[in-house]
Amino acid sequence: MAAQLLDGKGIAKQIQMEIKAEVSEFMEKSGVTPCLAAILVGEDPASQVYVRNKERACERVGIASRLHRLPADTNEAELLALIDQLNTDSAVNGILVQLPLPSHIAETNILDSVHPLKDVDAFHPENVGLVVQGRPRFLPCTPHGVVQILHRCGIEISGRHAVVVGRSEIVGKPLANMLVQRTSNLGVSAANATVTVCHSRTVNLPKITREADILIAAIGHPRFITVDMIKPGAVVIDVGINRTDDGLVGDVDFEAALEVASAITPVPGGVGPLTIAMLLWNTIAAARMQSV
């Protein structure tokens, strides 16, 4: 029996409808239009598509958006000056610096410079620390999207073994922290999972992934997770988006995994749309905090 497809696109639409209602209520009470400012440095095609999708999503829910396009040869000081300007602009509630940045710019310096109350990606160390402690101001967008998929599809997390393949600062580490939390926060139920984090140096990786009740692939290699790495009946969440000659594919060998998993996210149409939805979620949350 083929796996259930977890419709991230449909869930994202549902969340955006909820956010649209929240934005409307907030604007009626405060007279303020929430605003997200995005910064795009260079001409990376994937980043341009992503930023364009974010602009359209903002428009759908009633959030104002600004896009600052900078040439690829922009230096670090110039970028920091723009962020400082946005930090002090009371009309801007959220600041998004589109990654990756050109190699001559120190990514950490840039992300650390975004004001924590406007850090809607939840990359600032202050916000990362709050997530680890289980009292987040914002939840990082892609991990939050994964948890929303599990939550809204009625997939039990508590007590189950979740294996996260990938240890990035954007997905793997924060998602592992969120899955192990014992308290509920920001409208997400407590997870209470038993979590294992794997990566490229993990010894006997297939043995560990075959123990997963919930297997999350976020390693950035096309079709890295093969069918022999999946326990029959496991829930498979594919965070990867890889551009190949065959088009967009995930980190999981999807067609083969369909025959083994109980449920799986497709690529595209799985986790990706949730990332943008949760960015909007954080933006309205930021607007509320700043209006107090």
The arithmetic mean of pLDDT across residues 119-137, rounded, is 95
CA distance 72 to 75: 9
Least confident of 43-57, 65-79, 94-108: 43-57
pTM to 2 decimal places: 0.95
188-199: average pLDDT: 87
Is residue 20 annotated as part of the catalytic site, yes or no? no
| Catalytic residue chosen out of the listed positions 7, 119, 121, 251 | 121
* pLDDT tens, residue by residue, 3-51: 999 999 999 999 999 999 999 999 999 999 999 999 999 998 888 988 9
**Is a pLDDT exceeding 90 seen at residue 256?**
yes
- Share of the chain residues as helix, strand and coil, in percent rounded to the nearest 5: 40, 15, 40
pLDDT at 187: 61
Cβ-based neighbour number of residue 216 at 10 Å: 33
The answer for residues whose C-beta is within 8 angstroms of residue 180's C-beta and 6 or more apart is 191, 192, 193, 194, 195
Q: For helices 8-30 and 271-291, what crossing angle results, to 10°?
A: 10
Residue 184 CA to residue 25 CA, distance in Å, equals 25
* Angle at CA of residue 232, ends 230 and 238, nearest 5°: 45
Asked if 44 is an active-site residue, the reply is no
- The reply to whether 231 belongs to the active site is no
> Across all residues in the chain, what is the average pLDDT?
95
Assess contact for 122 and 282: CB atoms under 8 A: yes
Identified catalytic residue from 98, 118, 173, 181: 98
**What does the pLDDT average to over 160-185?**
92
- Domains of the chain (ranges; CATH) run 32-116 (3.40.50.10860), 141-272 (3.40.50.720)
Kindly state the average pLDDT of the residues 156-184: 93
Of the candidates 7, 16, 54, 253, the residue annotated as catalytic is 54
With tokens 């402690």, the residue in question is 133
What is the pLDDT at residue 246?
Answer: 85
User: What are the Cα distances from residue 102, in Å, to 43, 85, 168?
Assistant: 10, 21, 19
Query: What is the pLDDT, as a whole number, of residue 122?
Result: 97
- Cβ distance 114 to 123 under 8 Å? yes
